[in-house]
Amino acid sequence: MDLSKIKVVIADDDVMKGADIRKALEYNGVRNIMTVRNQEKLWEQIYHGEDKTDLIVTDMQYPLEAGEAVDEEAGFKLIERMKKEKISIPIVVCSSLNYSIPDILGSVWYNELNDLDSGFKEALSRLEKNS
């Protein structure tokens, strides 16, 4: 799999964290990256985006719709809805809490002690193996 050709959508309302995730993905060869700040925009990309979404990187806490407060269950709601709708886009959770969630591609702990580049390298290698 050519990582430079996949489309990754980052769902996170934290601008700095989104930039850090983008840098880590680019370091690992991903070039087509879009960041959305709420789940409403994420669903627009999944259903109506110009390119097929190949991977979702999601935080666990962000607004569901523009102008709303942060939903502390947003990531879980995304995962559940994707299961319910049988949408098979791989998901990587990137959060300041270290999650272990079944049925997703992986989890990258967003922490100053953790190397994001290595965390995404591992997750992207699983994506390549599963494709």
Helical pair 15-27 and 116-130, crossing angle rounded to 10 deg: 60
Over the stretch 73-120, which tens digit does the pLDDT of each residue have?
Answer: 999 999 999 999 999 999 999 998 888 898 899 999 998 888 999 999
User: CA angle, 60 as apex, 1 and 37 as ends, to 5°?
Assistant: 80
Backbone φ, ψ for residue 116 (5° rounding): -60, -40
Sign of CA dihedral 47, 56, 84, 43: negative
* Global pTM exceeds 0.75: yes
Over the stretch 28-69, which tens digit does the pLDDT of each residue have?
Answer: 999 999 999 999 999 999 999 889 999 999 999 999 999 999
How far apart CA 38 and CA 1 sit, in angstroms, is 29
How far apart CA 3 and CA 116 sit, in angstroms, is 17
With contact defined as beta carbons under 8 Å apart, do 41 and 67 qualify?
no
